[in-house]
Amino acid sequence: MMFLSKTLTSLGQWPHSLPRISLMDRYVARQLIPPFLFSVGVVASLGLAIGNLSDLGNKIVEKNLPVAKAAEVLLLKVPEFLAYSLPVAVMLATMMTFGRLSGDCEIIAIRSCGVSLYRLILPAVVLSLLVTGWAFVLTEWVVPVANYRATSILIESIDEEHPFWQNRDVFYPEFEEIKLDNGQTARRLKSLVYAEKFDGKEMQNLTVLQWTENHLKHIVLSDNATWNNDNKRWDFFHGTVYRLTETEDYQEAVPFTNKQIALPQSAFDFARQGRDPYEMTIAEAQDYIKILKLIGDEKKTQFFQVRTEQKLAFPFVCIVFAVVGSAIGARPQRISRATGFGLTIVIIFAYYILGFFSGSLGIVGLISPTLAAWLPNFVGLGVGIWLLYEFNQG
């Protein structure tokens, strides 16, 4: 009671002074941190176990994945599930903390001193801002590297297929803009590169077709090629250049041991950067989008634009969940841990469904990638603010 008396005294003085770290802020923060840390550990562990253990076990048994490699993949997946657990933990912590304060009538006592519900949840909002920063650091600088390494291990160990990796059958078309007689512009194929394999540094068994205006001019066959960053050209090794006439008839064949050919660097970057969006940083994804635009792959461009915006929007879910969790927890009815966990699952599922539909609309081009990524956050924040307003008026 003495603590509550001191708290109320400091709160009674708050409206007449500038916002500061009051006794109430420290008290609420101390109530938030233990359930937040506990929730991070539980949610991350459950996600890691459900999302990876069974799959890795099947790979060990059915595809002979070495146990040491499986353990390494599991460890590399920890940052991803840790990042995913942060928004969930924020919601659980706020819901349980304010639910307990409400059940013990502490919120009624605090508000009787003239403190609004908005001021009361300020520590939760500050915590969510800090967690948003941590989530951004994880998703931008830790998770992409770890996911890329995990994928590399599976591809190298059991030759697992990866839909985004361009390590086999690499096709890269280069287009040029031409002006038509009617004044309009059109795109025309300038060159086409095909490589049978790509190991991250070297393309193998290449076929290159080069056009001059509308005529196929050269066909290059080569054992391998690498990008020469000093000369900004391709180094081709052990191959033959077939030259054709304007009527595309065979003219001559010129064998070579080493030949530099002026092809765009983007052909190399396209293969080298062929990763899942969640295996790239935002800067890498934006560079890859530029390459996709150059080759005219509109479908894949739209997909990567939406996923990149979603990566940027994801950390801010922590703020949304903090507001929603605080609003629900501050209701007069006491919320138990089981009820809080159940409500969290329902809210996250609703958020996921909304994110899935808005993302799908963005991928097919019905709405912009930015709106597709941020719409669930706007809706969730709007709902949370409305709930806070209703409970604050009550």
Task: State whether 44 and 130 are in the same domain.
Answer: yes
Instruction: Say which residue, 370 or 229, is predicted with more confidence.
Output: 370
Q: How far apart are CA 243 and CA 249, in angstroms?
A: 9
List 211's β-bridge partners, or say none: 216
Q: Which two tokens stand for residue 160?
A: 């697992």
Task: State whether 134 and 176 are in the same domain.
Answer: no
Q: What pLDDT, on a 0 to 100 scale, did the predictor assign at position 239?
A: 95
Task: State whether 74 and 174 are in the same domain.
Answer: no
Task: State whether 117 and 263 are in the same domain.
Answer: no
Confidence band, pLDDT 50/70/90 cuts, at residue 236: very high
User: Does the structure show a pLDDT above 60 at 11?
Assistant: no
- Rounded to the nearest angstrom, the gap between the alpha carbon of residue 39 and the centroid of all alpha carbons in its chain is 22
Confidence band, pLDDT 50/70/90 cuts, at residue 18: very low
- Three-class SS state of 255: strand
Q: Which two tokens stand for residue 144?
A: 């992409």
Q: Which residue has the tokens 């176990």?
A: 49
Residue 300, domain member (yes or no): no
User: Does the structure show a pLDDT above 80 at 274?
Assistant: no
Residue 280, domain member (yes or no): no
CB atoms within 10 A of CB 250: 10
CB neighbours of 133 closer than 8 A, spacing ≥ 6? 315
Q: Which residue has the tokens 């989530």?
A: 135
Instruction: Say which residue, 109 or 169, is predicted with more confidence.
Output: 109
Instruction: Say how many domains are in the chain.
Output: 2
Mean pLDDT of 285-296: 79
Segment 174-188, tens digit of pLDDT: 888 888 777 778 777
- CA-to-CA dists, residue 44 to 83, 84, 93, 270, angstroms: 8, 7, 15, 34
Task: State whether 190 and 139 are in the same domain.
Answer: no
Segment 20-73, tens digit of pLDDT: 678 889 999 999 999 999 999 999 999 998 888 888 999 999 999 999 999 999
Segment 65-94, tens digit of pLDDT: 999 999 999 999 999 999 999 999 999 999
Q: What pLDDT, on a 0 to 100 scale, did the predictor assign at position 279?
A: 86
Q: What pLDDT, on a 0 to 100 scale, did the predictor assign at position 164?
A: 65
Q: What pLDDT, on a 0 to 100 scale, did the predictor assign at position 165?
A: 61
Percentage of residues of the chain with pLDDT beyond 90 = 45
Q: Which two tokens stand for residue 67?
A: 């146990």
Mean pLDDT of 329-351: 76
- The per-residue pLDDT of the chain, averaged, comes to 85
Domain termination site, one of 236, 251, 270: 270
Classify burial at 235, counting beta carbons within 10 Å of its beta carbon; exposed 0-12, middle 13-18, buried 19 or more. Answer: middle
Mean pLDDT of 162-171: 69
User: Does the structure show a pLDDT above 70 at 189?
Assistant: yes
Instruction: Say which residue, 141 or 288, is predicted with more confidence.
Output: 141
CB atoms within 10 A of CB 126: 16
Task: State whether 178 and 317 are in the same domain.
Answer: no
Task: State whether 41 and 140 are in the same domain.
Answer: yes
Q: Domain range for residue 363?
A: 2-10+19-160+312-393
Confidence band, pLDDT 50/70/90 cuts, at residue 166: low
Residue 297, domain member (yes or no): no
Task: State whether 143 and 6 are in the same domain.
Answer: yes
Using alpha carbons only, give the angle 73, 76, 77 rounded to the nearest 5 degrees: 90
Q: What pLDDT, on a 0 to 100 scale, did the predictor assign at position 278?
A: 85
User: Does the structure show a pLDDT above 80 at 15?
Assistant: no
Task: State whether 132 and 218 are in the same domain.
Answer: no
Domain termination site, one of 270, 301, 324: 270
User: How close are the terminal C-alpha atoms of the chain, in Å?
Assistant: 25
Confidence band, pLDDT 50/70/90 cuts, at residue 338: low
Confidence band, pLDDT 50/70/90 cuts, at residue 311: very high
Q: How far apart are CA 122 and CA 14, in angstroms?
A: 13
Q: What pLDDT, on a 0 to 100 scale, did the predictor assign at position 102?
A: 86
- CA-to-CA dists, residue 18 to 122, 124, 379, 385, angstroms: 14, 19, 31, 23
> Which amino acid appears at position 142 of this protein?
V
Q: Which two tokens stand for residue 94?
A: 């706020």
Q: Which residue has the tokens 């009527």?
A: 247
Classify burial at 215, counting beta carbons within 10 Å of its beta carbon; exposed 0-12, middle 13-18, buried 19 or more. Answer: exposed
Q: What pLDDT, on a 0 to 100 scale, did the predictor assign at position 394?
A: 62
Q: Which two tokens stand for residue 214?
A: 């509308």
- CA-to-CA dists, residue 271 to 137, 199, 202, 278, angstroms: 27, 9, 10, 17
Q: What pLDDT, on a 0 to 100 scale, did the predictor assign at position 31?
A: 94
List 71's β-bridge partners, or say none: none
Task: State whether 320 and 259 are in the same domain.
Answer: no
Confidence band, pLDDT 50/70/90 cuts, at residue 1: very low
- DSSP symbols for 322-350: HHHHHHHHTSSS---HHHHHHHHHHHHHH
Helices of type H across the chain:
2-13, 23-48, 54-62, 67-76, 78-103, 106-111, 117-120, 122-137, 143-158, 266-272, 282-295, 298-313, 317-329, 337-363, 369-393
